Amino acid sequence: MTLPRIGVFDSGVGGLTVLKAMAEQIPAHYLYFGDTARLPYGTKSADTVARYAIGAARFLEAQNIDLLVIACNTATALALPQITQAARVPVIGVVEPGVAMAAEVSQSRSAIVIATEATVSSHAYRDALHQHGLTAYEKACPLFVPLVEEGWIEHPVTEQVARIYLSEAMAASSDTADVLLLACTHYPLIASLLRRITPEHVKIVDSAESTARVVRKRLLEDTTRIEARPSSNPNAALAEHRTFRFFVTDSVDKFKRLATRFLGRQVDHVEHVDLGG
């Protein structure tokens, strides 16, 4: 059996948490594209986001990928149908997997969604949760991304900010929510901190981990062509039977520094590409 070639697209480095989660479960050749020259996507129109994302999809398709993962909440929220229509390979976004997992584990049928301003403004998670019969309480947490990229994962400032955000979110939900959905790919890096300060009855759902599960299930449906199995040793998940190529549209050195932090492994080989437009 041959390993699948999985393309992963994000506007920056956050999608690396999705890549890491997939690599822990799925042996594959991974090709990651970070459109770092044009981030943030949240300030751009849906048409512009779709155009950028489709350009990235076509670049990755030229690398002979078998599957495309949109590891970008903004692109998924604003342009998934357009990307799916334009792509020549199956496409999986990050919104529906996280929502489906939240629906699976919630008993109160009520969830808090924490995300960036752009994702909250799109109401993509709220609408998807409603379709699954859940009430959604959305909370924008704009300070988390810069704190994570600064490396302040366990910093007292990050904890204090998180306590403020979560207390406001729990109050808005009248303490009925029993799921906290991490709807930004940066947030898994502070999942341990969030677990410490979140009420015990509230389950934390990581959209990166949920997306990895959906990708693995999708690949297992074609067992005659590809191999997908859980890693018996998560610490070796980024080694045996996995290869990685990274493409960025801006600074290679900055991406290497952040990618090493996000993946928990040294990232040396990053290629600069210019898609224009």
CATH of the domain at 167: 3.40.50.1860
pLDDT tens sequence across 51-76: 999 999 999 999 999 999 999 999 99
- Whether 147 is in a domain gets the answer yes
User: Is the pLDDT at 234 greater than 50, yes or no?
Assistant: no
Output the pLDDT for position 237. Answer: 42
Give the whole-angstrom CA distance, residue 39 versus residue 261.
19
- 69: which DSSP letter? E
Based on the fold, state whether residues 118 and 196 are members of the same structural domain.
Answer: yes
On whether the CB atoms of residues 190 and 197 are closer than 8 A, the answer is: no
Give the whole-angstrom CA distance, residue 77 versus residue 241.
32
Backbone dihedral region for residue 264 (phi beyond 0: left; psi -120 to 50: alpha; all else: beta): left
- Whether 171 is in a domain gets the answer yes
Give the whole-angstrom CA distance, residue 188 versus residue 207.
8
Last residue of a domain, one of 207, 231, 256: 207
Q: How many Cα atoms sit within 13 Å of 119 on the Cβ side?
A: 28
Output the pLDDT for position 2. Answer: 84
Give the whole-angstrom CA distance, residue 137 versus residue 102.
13
Cα–Cα separations (whole angstroms), residue 177 to 22, 39, 51: 28, 32, 36
**Band of the pLDDT at 221, cuts 50, 70, 90?**
confident
Which of 3, 23, 184, 263 is the catalytic position? 184
Output the pLDDT for position 228. Answer: 46
**Band of the pLDDT at 47, cuts 50, 70, 90?**
very high
Q: To which residue do tokens 């939240």 refer?
A: 102
**What is the rounded average pLDDT for all residues in the chain?**
92
- Whether 119 is in a domain gets the answer yes
Q: List, in order, residues 6 or more apart from 28 with CB less than 8 Å away.
A: 3, 4, 5, 6, 22, 219, 226, 228, 242
Model pTM score: 0.92
Last residue of a domain, one of 180, 207, 234: 207
On whether the CB atoms of residues 119 and 77 are closer than 8 A, the answer is: yes
Question: What are the φ and ψ backbone dihedral angles of 139, each rounded to 5 degrees?
Answer: -135, 115
Let me know if 141 is a catalytic residue. no
User: Is the pLDDT at 229 greater than 60, yes or no?
Assistant: no
Output the pLDDT for position 175. Answer: 87
**Band of the pLDDT at 236, cuts 50, 70, 90?**
very low
Based on the fold, state whether residues 146 and 185 are members of the same structural domain.
Answer: yes
User: Is the pLDDT at 203 greater than 50, yes or no?
Assistant: yes
Based on the fold, state whether residues 101 and 200 are members of the same structural domain.
Answer: yes
Q: Which two tokens stand for residue 45?
A: 């129109």
Give the whole-angstrom CA distance, residue 14 versus residue 255.
11
Based on the fold, state whether residues 219 and 203 are members of the same structural domain.
Answer: no
- Whether 128 is in a domain gets the answer yes
Give the whole-angstrom CA distance, residue 235 versus residue 240.
11
Question: What is the average pLDDT across 209-238?
Answer: 69
Give the whole-angstrom CA distance, residue 187 versus residue 56.
24
Give the whole-angstrom CA distance, residue 216 versus residue 25.
7
Based on the fold, state whether residues 104 and 12 are members of the same structural domain.
Answer: no
Question: What are the φ and ψ backbone dihedral angles of 128, each rounded to 5 degrees?
Answer: -70, -40
Last residue of a domain, one of 207, 239, 255: 207
- Whether 277 is in a domain gets the answer no
Based on the fold, state whether residues 245 and 168 are members of the same structural domain.
Answer: no
Q: What is the CA radius of gyration of the chain?
A: 18
Based on the fold, state whether residues 72 and 111 are members of the same structural domain.
Answer: no
Based on the fold, state whether residues 230 and 129 are members of the same structural domain.
Answer: no
Q: List, in order, residues 6 or more apart from 152 with CB less than 8 Å away.
A: 158
Q: What percent of the chain is predicted at pLDDT more than 70?
A: 93
Q: Which domain holds residue 140?
A: 96-207
Based on the fold, state whether residues 100 and 193 are members of the same structural domain.
Answer: yes
Output the pLDDT for position 268. Answer: 87
Output the pLDDT for position 222. Answer: 72
Based on the fold, state whether residues 122 and 252 are members of the same structural domain.
Answer: no
Q: Give me the number of domains the chain comprises.
A: 2
Q: Which two tokens stand for residue 270?
A: 């990053």
pLDDT tens sequence across 129-167: 999 999 999 999 999 999 999 999 999 999 999 999 999
Based on the fold, state whether residues 103 and 199 are members of the same structural domain.
Answer: yes
Output the pLDDT for position 232. Answer: 46
- Whether 60 is in a domain gets the answer yes
Which of 72, 136, 193, 237 is the catalytic position? 72
Based on the fold, state whether residues 77 and 163 are members of the same structural domain.
Answer: no
Strand order of the sheet with strand 135-140? 135-140, 110-115, 179-182, 203-206
